[in-house]
Amino acid sequence: MCEEYQKLENKYALFERMFIQLFLEEDIELSVHFGLDNLGEDSLLKDQRFRTHVGKFQRFITGIIEMLSKGPEEAEDIVQVLRIVGRQHGNVRTMSFTAEKWLIFKNVLLSLLCRDNSEKSYSTWSKFISFVIYEIKDSYLEQVW
């Protein structure tokens, strides 16, 4: 999985596509939270708020993958980073991160990461994304309750 991620030529474009799909096709409420709900794809791609979030997400995933590639000794640090992100999202009071939203997010990300990959690769990515979501969601729920 780590090697597959490193081989992705344009990670920013992949995550840009992910947020385009999320904002314009899958869950328009997400775009409302960012104040981007009245923008088409071309305008979104130029919007600094959109570009900033794509960049932050790319750095986040890249950092987690890099930590993962170093071996199991990084596990506690990975969980700590994920839980920090969960707490940060707990401060987002304008939107609730429901199970449905997490599932949509997972499915869109999986569809982009696993376009040409094997079933084993798909399963590995699916487990990884589920783990990421679990830790973020757990920390998020602690923050909002």
Given CA atoms 21, 65, 59, 80 in this order, what sign does their dihedral have?
A: positive
Q: Alpha-carbon torsion 145, 100, 57, 52, what sign?
A: negative
Q: Specify the pLDDT at position 90.
A: 79
Fill in the DSSP letter of residue 74: G
Q: Which of 58, 135, 137, 127 is nearest to 97 (CA)?
A: 137
Q: What is the reported pLDDT for 94?
A: 67
Q: Report the distance separating Cα 123 and Cα 60, nearest Å.
A: 21
pLDDT value of position 97: 81
Calpha distance 54→19 (Å, rounded): 7
* pLDDT at residue 95, rounded to an integer: 72
**Domain extents for the chain?**
2-144
Q: Which residues of the chain have pLDDT under 50?
A: none
Question: What is the CATH topology of the domain spanning 2-144?
Answer: Globin-like (1.10.490)
CA angle 111, 123, 142 (to 5 degrees): 85
